Structure 1
Amino acid sequence: MPNSPIRFLLVDDIVENLTALEALLRRDGLEIHTARSAAEALELMLVNDYALAFLDVQMPETDGYELAELMRGAERTRQIPIIFVTAAERNENRRFRGYEVGAVDYIFKPIDPVVLKTKAEVFFRIARQAKELERQRDELRQIARGRDRAIASLRAHSDNSPLALVKCDAGLRVLDWSQGAQRIFGLPARDMLHHRIDDQDWLPPEAVAVLRGWIEAGPDSTARHVAEITARGPDGAVIHCEAYGSVLPDPESAQVTLSVQFLDVTERHQAEQTRQLLVGELNHRIKNTLANVQAITRQTLRRAADLAAFERSFSGRLQALAQAHSILSQVTWSSATIGQVIEGQTRSGALDADHFHRSGPQVWLSPETTLRLSLSLHELGTNAAKYGALSVPGGRVDLDWRVEGETLVVLWRESGGPPVTPPRTQGFGTVLIGGGTGGAEADWRPEGVVWRMTFHDGFTYLPEADLIAAPEGPPTGRAGGIDGFRILLVEDEPIVAMDVSCELEDAGAEVVCVARTLQDAIAAASNARIDVALLDGNLGGAPVDQVADVLARRRIPFCFISGYGREHLPQAFPHVPIVRKPFDPQELLSTVGRIAGPERP
């Protein structure tokens, strides 16, 4: 950005070294940032642009060479010039490795201030010149945009204007009749040229009187004539128009001409009404979603015993909300069935398909009811897995629904679990279940809790399309651990890659490679010794079909980890599982364990 300051980044694990470098480099117009580790440096580079980075070679954990490799692997940091700072002996092998990972120079300790300032001055001037060039480029672009707009406007008027362009003399005799006029009014030019404007009876008398009044007012360079008129099409239909007129003198004949532009606004009025409705609905849904997330965050935090408990609860609720939004996106936010809501919760792991049974008619839910029921089922499934029927191998949950008059009744029955006792306090999950429905009552039976939820609106029941909902496809099953698995992670977002890698490594797996470009991903998929692969939906806009093809040929199991729907992923692999972003750690680990099979690596 032309107006942003010129920044240098200093990376060294010793504070004294950073202080000394900063003192030597300090000057007007330069902003210096410091970092004491590779992770801290990467975080700074995600939010700032740097003209030069000084990297200490010998740092604990991730050294300067490794940090340089990470920088070259990310699009945002690939072009930052790197100067290595080292106290090691001059060694051609080290020097070659530094240049290999992208360094432009070396500075050896003890540092010569003159050498340091001279080299830094080069990059400072280059950055300043680059910003000046960017400023000039932006100015030229602005000029070019203005030129292009003018040319495009002239071309649109002359070649394919949506307006009806009509030119008349002082007696309202037609001198020019554009193709736009022919399209709007259905009258060809041969029938209009050299005839009075009202000969074909396409303009009512009051509209003709308006045009005649403009001519009688005479030419005036500051006058802008505008009127709303009606015209008649060839089929007699009324056409609502906006008319824009200019009265111009003819220097040769000393007569005046009238140029009128007619804009058909009939459809625009209808479109404007539709647009206002859609914008209002969009604003309403966005604000409702943000309000829901805000409420879930606050209430979960308020009732969480510790940060880990908050993370588990909030992540699960956010996943339930995201799953409901995915379902509604697939049906263009019109309506979803109860079966789709249940299947979404089953796929996300909130409901165990092996111990879950459902039945009921085909009922369509409004978007609001879909979101509410998804959150309620997530809470019920989570509670059942922690304390109820799904916490033991022999437990069972039955979900039944029916329509009673104008009310949808949903029953959740647990059985085969540990003895049930009513809770002493009402948690946020219970509040969420009750608030997400028209009403909810819990019967804390010793053999298993029974929830009765009612919805008084937001659903549609069509008896003629009555279907008994049944599970579709094979049950998800439960996966084993992933200890010892060698995993290829294909992900171009560094922070997401770091998060996924941490979850996998905490579970005992080894992330042998993180590929951030399509070329790196293809190479790793072709040659790396791996057990499982996780593929992002695309890498910098490039699809990952080639990577999936290579893995399939090598018979290496893989899954997608993406925010995209199935329609935007490689179409040759419709049965490959998807871990959706934002990802649930438990779903991630379960999916990896399931696709790898029961055999240990």
Structure 2
Amino acid sequence: MEYVSPAVSTIYGIEPEAFLGDMQRWAALIVPEDRDVALKHMERALHGEPAVHEFRIQRHSDQAFRWIHNTDFPLLGHDGAVERIGGIAEHVIEANLAVEHQGVLLAELQHRVRNILAMIQSLALRTADGAVDVEDYRSLLEGWLLALTGVQVLLTREANTGGLLRDIFASEVSAQAHGGDQFELDGPDIRLSPKAVEVLTLAFHELAANALKHGAFSTPMGRLRASWAPFEKEDRTWLALDWTEEDMPRRAPPIRRGFGSDLIEGRMPYELGGAGKLVIGPGGAHCHLEFPLEDGESILETEAPVPTRLFGGTFDMTDAPDLTGLRVLVVEDDYYMAGDTAAALRGAGADLLGPCSSEEATFELLKSSTPTHAILDLNLGGGGARFDIAHALRDRGVPFIFLTGYSSEVIPTELVDVVRLQKPVTFRKIVEVISRL
């Protein structure tokens, strides 16, 4: 590498001077899965063919993973032979993530729209079963659509955190009652999950619509009392809720009873894991509901999925064991293996000693520093397996593992209890084994 633009410090998180010289310095920043392909594209440019490719790197400055769009091209001399290779690197993580996130958003939108349309279809069919005539059907279906709209508005306004039970009650009941003196709401402030908001809003809408046609709200003298309270059951907090209508003219139970009963006694237990009972008599309706107060998503929520994250290669330690507080010595003479192992350990929170590529460098480091853990390659620089470092670490009480291509037969008897990871091995596996020492 002869020249690097100052802009590389922003993209790679390393000073331009660090790139000059051996190409391995550049290649070591590329994640393992992408490295060979990137180097092959360089070979194409070396043979006179322009090459355009993308790969991932891990920046030195913040250990973040980034996508690079690279254009490599040959620079020819007077005789037409390739004298140098030029390259243009473009940081494209935002564009790549935006495209991927757009796909996630589209898939989520399709999923939710289909679910909402399926719910509307179900409501339309069930409403038709109980409607007296076309006008009655129109009115009932309009009411359901308005109720669904109200749920969606509530979940959007509350940033999909659910809603207060009292607000949901008041919204549905006040729309049907003659006035505020016709109903009484008695219970503590309870915030419901989005799923509970969806189910209960439709249940209250059905109860309130029935009360207007046949029950407490069909006469100014009728009254509704709704009460609720939390209670403990099966080591969980549940909510008990009662809807009771009083003081109304005696009349025959309404014909359109099946939909409400199915909603309260069928959908409630199925979607909220609770129980519901609806009794509609000549004097009005009594409904008892109880269900656990647990999280649940509604198909009417509108919050967009979390933007896509860029994950790196095999040394991306997302969700790996936390090695914070550990100081790990890496002894490995392979440049890429040493650098990648160190990157994986740093990604898991560990502090690094080394990497060291030789026994001499390792013992020099151990004069001034003591690791809490170590990873040892057995064949440093050729010549077969050596165990001087292993014995020195055991004398100090430092736990370590062997990371080697050798089989177990080469391990001396006094060290057979040491964990041996056979190359090749995933870097996540290395982190997991270190966490268990």
- 1:453 aligns to what? 289
Q: Given residue 123 of structure 2, which amino acid in structure 1 is its aligned partner?
A: I
Deviates most, 371-380 or 398-407? 398-407
Give yes or no for contact 2:54–2:70 (8 Å, CA) kept in 1: yes
1:177 is paired with a residue of what secondary structure?
Answer: coil
- 1:416 aligns to what? 247
Aligned partners of 1:252 and 1:349: how far apart in 2? 89
**Shift of the alpha carbon at 1:344?**
2.8
Question: Aligned in 2, Cα 1:230/1:386: closer, same or farther, shift over 3 Å?
Answer: same
Aligned partners of 1:208 and 1:307: how far apart in 2? 68
Give yes or no for contact 1:185–1:232 (8 Å, CA) kept in 2: yes
Aligned partners of 1:361 and 1:197: how far apart in 2? 68
For residues 428-451 of structure 1, give each alpha carbon's deviation from its aligned partner in whole angstroms, at most 9, with x where no partner exists: 344334344224212346654311
Aligned partners of 2:13 and 2:218: how far apart in 1? 73
- Confirm whether residue 228 of structure 1 aligns to residue 59 of structure 2: no
Q: How does 1:325-344 map to 2 (within 5 A)?
A: 325-344=152-171
- 1:49 aligns to what? none
**Shift of the alpha carbon at 1:377?**
0.9
For structure 2, the residue ranges without an aligned partner over 5 or more in a row are 270-274, 297-437
- 1:376 aligns to what? 203
**Shift of the alpha carbon at 1:381?**
1.0
For residues 351-408 of structure 1, give each alpha carbon's deviation from its aligned partner in whole angstroms, at most 9, with x where no partner exists: 8433111122332223332222111111111111121112222211111122333433
- Confirm whether residue 402 of structure 1 aligns to residue 229 of structure 2: yes
1:286 is paired with a residue of what secondary structure?
Answer: helix
2:278 is paired with a residue of what secondary structure?
Answer: strand
**Shift of the alpha carbon at 1:245?**
3.9
Q: Given residue 360 of structure 1, which amino acid in structure 2 is its aligned partner?
A: G
- Confirm whether residue 441 of structure 1 aligns to residue 277 of structure 2: yes
Question: Aligned in 2, Cα 1:277/1:412: closer, same or farther, shift over 3 Å?
Answer: farther
The root-mean-square deviation of aligned C-alpha atoms, in Å, is: 3.8
Q: How does 1:259-298 map to 2 (within 5 A)?
A: 259-261=87-89, 263=91, 265=93, 279-298=106-125
2:279 is paired with a residue of what secondary structure?
Answer: strand
For residues 117-162 of structure 1, give each alpha carbon's deviation from its aligned partner in whole angstroms, at most 9, with x where no partner exists: xxxxxxxxxxxxxxxxxxxxxxxxxxxxxxxxxxxxxxxxxxxxxx
TM-score under structure 1 length normalisation: 0.41
Give yes or no for contact 1:198–1:208 (8 Å, CA) kept in 2: no
- Confirm whether residue 249 of structure 1 aligns to residue 87 of structure 2: no
Aligned partners of 1:457 and 1:444: how far apart in 2? 27
- Confirm whether residue 431 of structure 1 aligns to residue 257 of structure 2: no
Give yes or no for contact 2:239–2:291 (8 Å, CA) kept in 1: yes
**Shift of the alpha carbon at 1:173?**
1.7
- 1:386 aligns to what? 213
Give yes or no for contact 1:227–1:243 (8 Å, CA) kept in 2: yes
Q: Given residue 268 of structure 2, which amino acid in structure 1 is its aligned partner?
A: T
Deviates most, 332-341 or 211-220? 211-220
Q: Given residue 432 of structure 1, which amino acid in structure 2 is its aligned partner?
A: L
1:437 is paired with a residue of what secondary structure?
Answer: helix
2:172 is paired with a residue of what secondary structure?
Answer: helix
Aligned partners of 2:239 and 2:107: how far apart in 1? 28
Give yes or no for contact 1:218–1:247 (8 Å, CA) kept in 2: yes
TM-score under structure 2 length normalisation: 0.54
Give yes or no for contact 2:250–2:282 (8 Å, CA) kept in 1: yes
Of structures 1 and 2, the one with the larger relative CO (CA 8 A, separation 6+) is: 2
**Shift of the alpha carbon at 1:193?**
8.3
For residues 158-200 of structure 1, give each alpha carbon's deviation from its aligned partner in whole angstroms, at most 9, with x where no partner exists: xxxxxxxxxxxxxx222x4253x322323355x4686666669
Aligned partners of 1:213 and 1:267: how far apart in 2? 25
- Report how many aligned residue pairs link the two structures: 284
Question: Aligned in 2, Cα 1:364/1:266: closer, same or farther, shift over 3 Å?
Answer: same
- 2:192 aligns to what? 365
Q: How does 1:140-159 map to 2 (within 5 A)?
A: none
Q: How does 1:76-225 map to 2 (within 5 A)?
A: 172-174=1-3, 176-177=4-5, 179=7, 181-189=8-16, 191=17, 203=29, 214-219=41-46, 224=51
Give yes or no for contact 1:214–1:247 (8 Å, CA) kept in 2: no
Aligned partners of 1:205 and 1:364: how far apart in 2? 46
For residues 494-527 of structure 1, give each alpha carbon's deviation from its aligned partner in whole angstroms, at most 9, with x where no partner exists: xxxxxxxxxxxxxxxxxxxxxxxxxxxxxxxxxx
Give yes or no for contact 1:409–1:452 (8 Å, CA) kept in 2: yes
- Confirm whether residue 321 of structure 1 aligns to residue 148 of structure 2: yes
Instruction: Report % sequence identity.
Output: 23
Deviates most, 412-421 or 393-402? 412-421
Aligned partners of 2:156 and 2:268: how far apart in 1? 22
Aligned partners of 1:389 and 1:369: how far apart in 2? 25
Question: Aligned in 2, Cα 1:245/1:386: closer, same or farther, shift over 3 Å?
Answer: same
For structure 1, the residue ranges without an aligned partner over 5 or more in a row are 1-171, 461-601
Q: Given residue 177 of structure 1, which amino acid in structure 2 is its aligned partner?
A: S
Give yes or no for contact 2:31–2:58 (8 Å, CA) kept in 1: no
Q: Given residue 124 of structure 2, which amino acid in structure 1 is its aligned partner?
A: T
Q: Given residue 265 of structure 2, which amino acid in structure 1 is its aligned partner?
A: G
Give yes or no for contact 2:130–2:256 (8 Å, CA) kept in 1: no
Aligned partners of 2:169 and 2:31: how far apart in 1? 65
